[in-house]
Amino acid sequence: GFQTYALSFDEGNSHNILEIEASSNISYLDNSMLLLQYVYDKSSNTVHYRLASRNKEDLGELRLLAENDDNILNIELRFS
């Protein structure tokens, strides 16, 4: 569903991207200054987050938090 946006975003910027899928809202992601996109999928009752930063460490810290969160279903981290 978001492929066109992802391609145009990836081509024009050198941001690192963290994408997280969760079974419920995650407050530290909802309130993150790095949050680029939030999607709630009612049919599957999942929440998708896309965060971006030029600083790898910012996203690395969020990834570590997410890996220890039982509500996290999937994590994808792409460095540019």
CATH architecture label of 15-78: 2-Layer Sandwich (3.30)
Q: Please state the pTM of the whole predicted model.
A: 0.82
Cα separation, 37 vs 51, in Å, equals 7
CA gap 49, 39 in Å, rounded: 7
17-76 residue pLDDT tens: 999 999 999 999 999 999 999 999 999 999 999 999 999 999 999 999 999 999 999 999
- The continuous run of DSSP H or E covering 30 comes out as helix 27-30
Give per-residue pLDDT as tens, 6-15: 445 545 557 9
